[in-house]
Amino acid sequence: MTDLTLSNQAVTTQPAPPNEATAFRFPMQWIGVAPFFIFVLMFLILPTIYLVLGAFQNGDGQLTLDNILQLVSDPSISASYWVSIKISFWSAIIGAFAGLAIAIAIVRGGLPNWTRSATLTFSGVASNFAGLPLAFAFLATLGRVGIVTTLLRDVLNVNIYAMGFNFLTTSGLIAVYLFFQIPLMVVIIVPAIDGLKKEWGEAAATLGATQSQYWRMVVIPVLWPSFLGTVILLFANSFGAIATAYAFAGPALNIVPIKLYSQINGDVLHNPQLGYAIAFGMIVITGLANVFYIWFRTRSERWLK
Amino acid sequence: MKSGKFWAWVVFIVGAAYFFIPLMATVEFSLRMRRGVHSFDAYQIVLGDARFQSTFLYSVIAAVFTIVLGILVVVPAAYWIRLRLPQLRPIVEFITLLPLVIPAIVIVFGYIRMYGSNSPLPFLASNMGANALLVIGYATLALPYMYRAVDTGLRTIDVRTLTEAAQILGAGWSTIITRVILPNVLIAVLSGAFLTFAIVIGEFTMASLLNRPAFGPYLQNIGANRAYEPAALAIIAFAITWGCMSLIQILSRFAPKSANRPN
């Protein structure tokens, strides 16, 4: 709490008369944002840098690439990255398109007004309904004694577990993650679709565009940056998610965040440097995704001009 | 156009089924604890559990502190950037998005290594320090939402004129922020606060790795050891999230709509 009180004082005891001499102006300018920058530096940026530097050092502090190489050479670690990337990628892609379809249906589909407000309200809730309770809900539904599982078994005589269904497979986790991915897409993309002006459609029609040309040349280019940005957000969202998967299988499931969790808890690897490397790998992957996003966006913005 | 409407209905109904079946099944499952009849036994057991009460209280308190810390960090910065340092806006927006990019588990791992008991700033050496670190971690997680909420609120008021008027009347900076700016963006701040609450209340990763007796680790423990109680807890958690979101919606009706002079 030390820094908290410090930053408080920085705000409250700051005298700053309205028009001070120019010589004092520069530092005064910065005092208003100082608590913010001190906070993010101490509790967001420095801890991250600390891990990144640690990933390139051995236990004695010498520079080395061994930790990073171990990410690739250790089959269980590289497999966990691969599984995590697959889950995040597909849950982001499927979630994005499903969310887009729902958003278009409620905004442009000519449905009654209540569907729109109901969907938006529900999406706001569901996009924040993640973690352990989400896992509990799916276990109650599709777990071995879940309601839907037993209904299917008793009424339709279908045993989904005999058919190979399992939450701990890639597709099982994707299906669960969609419960927060789709609503998140809806929440973000609906305002973007609202931003499509009626005049554009009319202008396109006046110029003789077909419906498909209107979509291809107007709607998709306009929605593209926010759509892509949300896909990236969804990817990062599921890439770092741990609680839902942890509730299904505890530390047994081999995805990166659980691997790191076990490592921090001292269950498995007993090598902090390797933990740094795993964390570094996670930052690199979500960071790369964002670089792609920025690159795509600048391209599409240039094109839009 | 007619087929378009048909497909819109199909999409809407399939989507609604995907979202409602698990919720209804969970409600049904949570009522099945007593064999053969529907009962609220699972809820009674959960709500009567002393560990539920203590961990839930702990998380509520942590959430309140998180909100206060978030306001103290975000409001002055967002205000100051609107007033004096607009050139910093892209940098600050980028920074506030970082917690969405850097996973929570990575952030808390950094804390554990940097602020351990042998470090120069040993947060984790004491219980209170660890509690503080949890609140700080939560405030970091909530940063993107808090900043956006406050910034949206500031956009709807004329920050410069209000500040100048207050200065002419002799107000100092602390008066300006607490008695002029904050009341004007109160609704935006409260929206951010309820969202923060919804995120923080059942958070598992940070609380568990910092070894705090919070609601998230309790949920995990019950989930691993009980059958019907987790379903009841899922419904309770859903209700809490729903409550927070409804409060945000209700508040947004009171928010000022017009931007007098958007910057």
Whether A6 shows a pLDDT value over 70: the answer reads no
Size of interface A-B (CB pairs under 8 A): 278
C-alpha closest to that of B83 among B167, B161, B148 = B161
Those of residues 157-176 in A touching chain B at CB distance below 8 A are none
- Torsion sign (Cα): A90, A96, A101, A106: positive
Of A44, A132, A276, the CB nearest to B202: A132
* pLDDT score of A41: 93
Contact at 8 Å (CB) between B198 and B241?
A: yes
Helix, strand, coil % over all residues of chain B, rounded to 5? 80, 0, 20
Could you state, in order of their start, the residue ranges of all structural domains in chain B?
50-254
Q: Which CATH number fits domain B50-254: 1.10.3720.10, 3.40.50.2300, 3.30.360.10, 1.10.10.10?
A: 1.10.3720.10
Of B107, B223, B244, the CB nearest to A136: B223
Mean pLDDT, residues A165-182 taken together: 87
* pLDDT score of A185: 92
* pLDDT score of A43: 93
Question: Chain B interface, mutation test: which of A41, A81, A134, A147, most B Cβ atoms within 10 Å?
Answer: A147
* pLDDT score of A25: 54
Burial class (CB within 10 angstroms; exposed 0-12, middle 13-18, buried 19+) of A35? buried
Return d(Cα A1, Cα B255) in angstroms, integer: 33
AA letter at B35: R
Whether A201 shows a pLDDT value over 90: the answer reads no
Return d(Cα B173, Cα A11) in angstroms, integer: 8
Question: How confident is residue A92, by pLDDT bands cut at 50, 70 and 90?
Answer: very high
Q: HEC string of A77-113?
A: HHHHHHHHHHHHHHHHHHHHHHHHHHHHHHHHCCCCH
Mean pLDDT, residues B10-27 taken together: 90
Q: HEC string of B67-107?
A: HHHHHHHHHHHHHHHHHCCHHHHHHHHHHHHHHHHCCHHHH
Those of residues 125-164 in B touching chain A at CB distance below 8 A are 128-129, 132, 136-137, 139-140, 143
Question: How confident is residue B256, by pLDDT bands cut at 50, 70 and 90?
Answer: low
Question: How confident is residue A287, by pLDDT bands cut at 50, 70 and 90?
Answer: confident
Q: Which two tokens stand for residue B124?
A: 């984790």
Tell me whether residues A115 and B103 touch, CB distance under 8 A.
no
- Measured from the Cβ of residue B1, the count of other Cβ atoms closer than 10 Å reads 8
Instruction: List pLDDT tens digits, range B65-92.
Output: 999 999 999 988 998 888 888 888 888 9
* pLDDT score of A102: 92
Mean pLDDT, residues B147-162 taken together: 88
Contacts of A40 in chain B (CB under 8 A): 95, 98, 140, 143
Chain A: closest CA distance from residue B157 (Å): 19
AA letter at B177: I
Q: Does A92 touch chain B (CB under 8 A)?
A: no
Tell me whether residues A44 and B219 touch, CB distance under 8 A.
no
Instruction: List pLDDT tens digits, range B32-49.
Output: 888 888 888 888 888 888
Question: How confident is residue A267, by pLDDT bands cut at 50, 70 and 90?
Answer: low
* pLDDT score of A193: 86
Could you state, in order of their start, the residue ranges of all structural domains in chain A?
2-64, 76-304
- For A76-304, CATH number? 1.10.3720.10
Instruction: List pLDDT tens digits, range B102-153.
Output: 999 999 999 998 898 888 888 888 889 999 999 999 999 999 999 988 988 8
Could you please report the per-residue DSSP string of B187-231?
Answer: HHHHHHHHHHHHHHHT--HHHHHTT---HHHHHHHHHHH-SSHHH
More confident residue, B233 or A164: B233
* pLDDT score of A290: 82
- Mean pLDDT score of chain A, rounded to an integer? 82
